[in-house]
């Protein structure tokens, strides 16, 4: 099981997504916890590393937990614990991130399996157009 933390950031019916260098699929921003880190600490660190913005810890809210086959890891599941949060700064691709994109439900084929479940949930609840 791969345990990941993800940031759900929606605006105008689209969701912020990222594509890492050398990858063809998009992933929600976030990543794996370092030893001893809380979910909030992981979210703050990963988003700072990937998108060069500061998550406001006091605004972090749980948004669901989703599980699916891990992209590129046969026989492995990924559990994505998702949070919403406000941020300060200007979004910019940083670290291993090659591209930032605002995706709609129609872009679902371009994302990982667990992100597809999240896209379905957001679309069903009217948050993703």
Tens of pLDDT, residue by residue over 2-24, are 999 999 999 999 999 999 999 99
| DSSP per residue, 56-107 | -GGG-EEEEEEEEEPTT-TT-EEEEEEEE--EES-----TTEEEEEEE-GGG
pTM of the model: 0.95
Residue 40: HSE in the Cβ half-sphere, 13 Å Cα cutoff: 9
Pull the structure tokens for residue 89: 């700064």
How big is the CA angle at 12 (ends 17 and 90), to the nearest 5 degrees?
55
Instruction: Tell me the average pLDDT across 40-61.
Output: 98
Residue 71 has a pLDDT of 86
Residue 74 has a pLDDT of 86
Residue 72 has a pLDDT of 82
d(CA 57, CA 43): 9
d(CA 4, CA 2): 6
Instruction: Tell me the average pLDDT across 27-55.
Output: 97
Residue 70 has a pLDDT of 92
Name, in order, each residue with C-beta under 8 angstroms of 71's C-beta and a sequence gap of 6 or more.
25, 27, 78, 112, 113, 114
Tens of pLDDT, residue by residue over 55-106, are 999 999 999 999 999 988 889 999 999 999 999 999 999 988 999 999 999 9
d(CA 69, CA 40): 24
d(CA 87, CA 84): 10
Residues 30 and 47 sit within 8 Å (Cβ to Cβ)? yes
Query: Which CATH class, in words, describes the domain spanning 2-124?
Result: alpha beta
């Amino acid at each position: 099981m791969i345990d990941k933390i993800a940031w759900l950031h929606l605006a105008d019916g689209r969701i912020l997504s990222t594509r890492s260098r050398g990858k063809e699929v998009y992933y929600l921003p976030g990543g794996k916890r370092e030893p001893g880190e809380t979910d909030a600490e992981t979210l703050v660190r990963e988003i700072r590393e990937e998108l060069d913005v500061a998550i406001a810890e006091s605004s972090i809210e749980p948004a669901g937990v989703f599980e699916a086959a891990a992209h590129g890891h046969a026989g492995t599941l990924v559990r994505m614990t998702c949070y919403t949060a406000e941020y300060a700064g200007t979004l910019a691709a940083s670290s291993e991130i090659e591209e930032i994109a605002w995706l709609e439900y129609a872009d679902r084929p371009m994302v990982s399996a667990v992100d597809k479940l999240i896209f379905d949930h957001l679309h069903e609840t009217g948050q993703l157009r």
